[in-house]
Structures are given as structure tokens and as C-alpha cells.
Structure 1
Amino acid sequence: MKISILTLFPEMFDGLFSHSILKQSQQKGVVSYNVVNFRHYAKDKHNRVDDYPYGGGGGMVLTPQPLFDAVEDLQGQTANKQKSRTILLCPQGEPYSQQKAEELAKEDEIILICGHYEGYDERIREHLIDEEISIGDYVLTGGEIGAMVIADSVTRLLPGSLGNDQSAVTDSHSTGLLEYPHYTRPAEYRGMAVPDILLSGHHKNIDVWRRQQSLRRTYERRPDMLESANLTDEDIAYLHSLKSKNK
């Protein structure tokens, strides 16, 4: 997979792609990162990429020409333009989720556009991109942090990125529920013991316990997620028992 990022501050990504899973994934050939300063596409003699908004108002607006040229150049480097997906990082976009990360991980290439200043010329939204994504209901200085979030969350879903590909499958939100609690050695620490079920070696019972713990944790911390979770009859019965105990 190829992840291209259009930004005015490419140096912000140096640390991100030089450590941990993202570095290892690139070394293994699972993913390649291409960070591009779209100021290099500006045709203005001062390399300006922004201008005052028509109609007045505060702040500067990104002009269309540099971004159009940058995206078209990247698409021209792809054998099939239909295989690239162009995304605008914007607080007006679709809220980002694990399900969206899983969807993007199936693409051959994604192009992430990081905005700055007051906003984008509307023609960028209407004629250049495929979609807009927001990582939360708040405003950041630019889209770089949002692009980092997407790059990280998508990369770890790619086969071969993690030491165990099943790790991503059981993550919080991947199953529609929050993840169950984990324990490791020692079996007892300062009087705090690992649950006996995890030491039993009975894998079927452990699976049941983990599922119930995921349900409990989701019920207690994010009950809104249960409305769209894929629940079995056993799950529903367990949730009813939790609600009865809390009455």
C-alpha cells in the first residue's frame, strides 16, 4: 500500500515514520510513505499557496492550483488512477472510526491532504477529493495530526505489519466492542492476582470470559456502541444480567 501525504510541513512526519510499527512496516515492504510539500507546486513567484477570501473575512484560504497539480501528479504516478483515494482532512468531514480505517486499508493508495490557515477553496472540495474526514469535533492548527492518525491506524491493519495479524482483529472497536482486559506475568503482584480462568488452560472458557469482559467494558464505558454491535443471543442475555445487577 502507498500512503501519500500533501502538507506544508513535511518535517512533522519525520519522527512518525522513523519508529515502531510504521518504520518496520515500511522496511518489510508492507507500505510506503510519500510525504510531499505541495508548496513546491505553486506557480506564484513567491511560492504562495494561500490568498485572501473573496467577500472578506478573517484568515487566509488555500488556493486550488497547487493542490490540484500535486494530486494529479501523484495520480499520474499510479498505474490506475481509480486505485487512489484522495481524502481531505477537515473538521467538517465524516468522523473517523475503526471501521473507516478498515475500509481504507483495502485501498492500493490513499492521498491525504493536510490543510492550514482558514480553510480550502471550495473547488478543492467539490472537484478534487473523494471524501472529507475529521478525527474529532474540534479544530487543530492543520491537518497533519489527523493524517498521522489515519496513517498509523491504517498501517497496523495491513497484513504483515504486526507480529501477530490477529492482534488488530481483536483491538477495541474492531469487533464493535471495547477490548477485554489483558494480564501477563507475574500471576500475582502486590496481592493482585490474575483471574483464575486465564490460568486454567481451558481455551473455550477463556474465550467466553473474554467476550463477556468486552461486553461488560463496553456496557460500562461506551454503551452507545452496543446499539450497532453484532450481538448473539448469548451476548444479549449477558447484557440483560448486567443491567439487572445494576438496578
Structure 2
Amino acid sequence: MNETTPDPLEQLRERLSARPEGEVRTGTVVGFDEQRGVRVRLDGDDPQAPRGTIPRHLLTWAAFEDPSEVVSLGERITAEVQGVDERTGEVALSARACEDEALYRHLCRTRRGDVVTGTVAAVHGFGVFVRLDGEPAHPVHPGTGFVRVPELTWSPIDHPEEVVRPGQRVTGEVIDVDTYQGEVVVSLKALQEDPWDRLALGEGDVTAGPVTKVVPFGVFVRVGEAAEGLVHESCLGGRVVLEGQEMRVRILEIDRRLRRIRLAPAF
């Protein structure tokens, strides 16, 4: 009886399904690639065709000049699967993700939807680092918790320091666990009431609020606790409006799905 020749495409599919993203794999360092990083023969790989690669930036949290300073040929290594090239079967790995065992355990036991509390460790224009209660020390960042700017508050802000300060205690909801950066991504906004739910205004209503921003195409006016609407420049008739000025406006349109309000002056 003739044996059926294995389908190479099916073999590749089986290979990919055996290495989903986030899985931790072990292997042996078999080479260095100046452009791509460290070559790894994962346990179970064909010895003649190692498929694992650790990019330089995912090798370790520590600074280094050459990968050979961090690992050596024949060294056993543990790494997390970051992705798989479906065309070649190449497995992209992160040894950095598993380097700090305490940090990795911390990330693995944290789940989306968890409510966490911590202390603000650093405030930057790009976001806020939080030292979460019970967390291990992060090898690079001042805390394992990170709050992106849009997740700080429902209110419009120019800088995170308007909302939080170092040393402040905060509570938020976990919206992601990022082993790539070694972070627990937290939303403070998720535990706050959405002010749009309390917006009682409707189309045709007249109200007043401060001008929050002047832009080339018009002005934004606050018409609720954290809701702003746009008065287009074509509606201003050449009138000069300054930031902070109180302005009476009429609601022309409210799009709650897109969270947009169109206004006109009610002079």
C-alpha cells in the first residue's frame, strides 16, 4: 500500500497551532544573527532547521552591546511566544518576558476586569505609572501598573498632572496585561460614571458654558460636566471668541455614539 505524502501546508498549520501567542517555550541557543537577534532551537524542532528567534530588544531588560554578553551558544533558555510567521513558520520569542520570574507570575495571575489599587509612582505626558499593591519591583519602570492618558478621566485634559500626582492612591480596572512591556494596563475612567449618561440636553436646547479651546475651524464649548461641543467658524460670523469666555449656545445635533455635539451661537 502506498504511503500518503504529508501535506507541507497541513504540517505548517499543525506547527503553528502548537505555538500560540503567549505560550512559554524552552529551547537551546544555537546562533546569533546581527540583524535578527538570537537563534533558538525550540524543544521538538528539527535540529537542522531551528525556527525560534529572539529579537535583540526582547532578549533582556538590561542594557547590552552584543547578544553574546547575555546568552551563550548551547545555553538553555525560556521565552514567551510573541507571534508566528505563517509563511515560514518562524517563531518570534521574548526571553525578556520570562526573565523576571516574580514579574511574570504577577502578570499571569492578573486578569482583565480585575480591580486594582496602587500608588502613583510617576506622571508623564504619555501616561502614568502606578505601583500596584503587592506587585514585585519592575526591572525598568517605576511600577507595573500603567494608565494611558485617555483612561485617566472622562474630562478633557491637557496633561495627566491635572488628574493625578505622585504619591496619590488610585483604584482602577485592568483592561490589558502586556507581557511585551511587563505592564498591567489600568483604566481609572472605567470605574467613573460616564458624564454623557447624565447629559440632559437635547437638540434645540440653549445653554451656556466656557470656551475650552479655540482652533482654526471654530471653538469648543463645554456644555456638560465633561461634554464639549463645536461651534464651527462659519457660525461665528467673524466674531472673536477667547478661551475661557462664557458663551451661550444652541444644541444643533448630538451624536452619542461618536460623542460629538454640534453647536451654534445663541447671541
Q: What's the TM-score once normalised by structure 2's chain length?
A: 0.24
Return the structure number with greater helix share. 1
Higher CA-based Rg: 2
TM-score with structure 1 setting the length: 0.26
